[in-house]
Structure 1
């Protein structure tokens, strides 16, 4: 009786475990679905994942993982197989934070919080910095001075609803409504610069320009 029970356990284990090992190797994917947190994946992503159609589940997952390995647009992703032959891929895209606008071409690079270019477009609702330089390609990271300018603008956007600024030589220039122009350096302690700006704005009265590039900020009046 003991041996019969043991044999039953072995058979149960066989029928429970073997399908999980064999099934992904022999079943072919016929349909590939791709979604991100905003809905259906873009045509670029669909072109990548559709290459998995016709492959075994294991090979399809490996192929998609290889395609996604070199993109910096994805924060995370997962697979789910649906009978009879559908592989669903759920992607968590990195979130856009701000943008760079090339004033010569009006092309816009949308970036995440690390300065990585997520996409190129011709319009955006994000706060943006204007530059005369060529924009990085999708997946590339902007240089540190531009990231510094973007972070400054992002903070000011939430403080004063200033949506844009421009990099002029080695400074960031922007205008605060009903106040005046503010000039920032492209390096330094961001919190100190913002604190100095808020303090000066509370005391300066009507001014033409505040230049924060110097140790002692310069205030120019009309």
Structure 2
């Protein structure tokens, strides 16, 4: 009798394991709905899911999971299956922090905080750093010097209005809205560089009116050296 009870328990356990393992292969997926922490999924991601309608749950989750793991714009994801055959894919997106573009500004690469190219768009609300070189492909990481420049631009634009920013191999040139051109190095200590800029900029704002009336204005600040260099240009009237 004890053996029969033991066998019965083993059968129940084996049956439960079999159901858990094989059931997803028998459950049909009639519709896939993709949502993100921002809104509905973008067109690029939804296009990837078109071929997974009317497949079984196991196959859909495995294939979609592999796609999302290799997508730079996706930080994390999970699945929810509804009884009506709907599979909901919940995606947590990497939110772009920076943007770079070529001089023509036709396309902008949107970049994560750690420098990974997330997507390419024809518009961006982020401050744009112009670079002369080719834009990296989606999923690739930008050069460390470009990332350094992006961090400076991001911090600066949160406090003051920036008109234009351009990166080259040895310098970051930023045109401020107040007419001052600032040249930053592309490596070093960001906090110290910005601190030096804000200190000097504040002093420039407090220049006596006589120097301005005489036509002398400081319009270039070079922070690439241990001692910042201010260039004074005479405005002919």
Structure 1 pair 179–43 and aligned structure 2 pair: CA distance change class (3 A):
closer
RMSD in angstroms over aligned alpha carbons? 2.5
Match of 1:217 in 2: 228
Superposition pairs for residues 1-222 of structure 1, below 5 Å? 19-104=19-104, 106-162=106-162, 164-178=164-178, 180-204=180-204, 205=207, 206-222=217-233
Summarize deviations over 1:112-155 as a string: whole Å, max 9, x none.
11111111122211011111111011111111111111000000
CA contact (8 A) 1:166 1:172 kept: yes
State the aligned residue count. 222
Scaled by the length of structure 1, the TM-score of the pair is 0.87
SS of residue paired to 1:182: strand
Summarize deviations over 1:162-221 as a string: whole Å, max 9, x none.
264112452111122225111001111111111111111122335111100111110111
Q: Which moved more, 1:81-90 or 1:47-56?
A: 47-56
Q: Which moved more, 1:94-103 or 1:105-114?
A: 105-114
SS of residue paired to 2:29: coil
CA contact (8 A) 1:52 1:61 kept: no
Q: Mark the structure with the bigger radius of gyration.
A: 2
Could you tell me how far apart the structure 2 residues matched to 1:101 and 1:156 are? 18
CA contact (8 A) 1:127 1:163 kept: no
Q: Which moved more, 1:175-184 or 1:9-18?
A: 9-18
CA contact (8 A) 1:104 1:132 kept: no
SS of residue paired to 1:207: strand
Summarize deviations over 1:86-105 as a string: whole Å, max 9, x none.
11101111001110010046
Match of 2:214 in 1: none
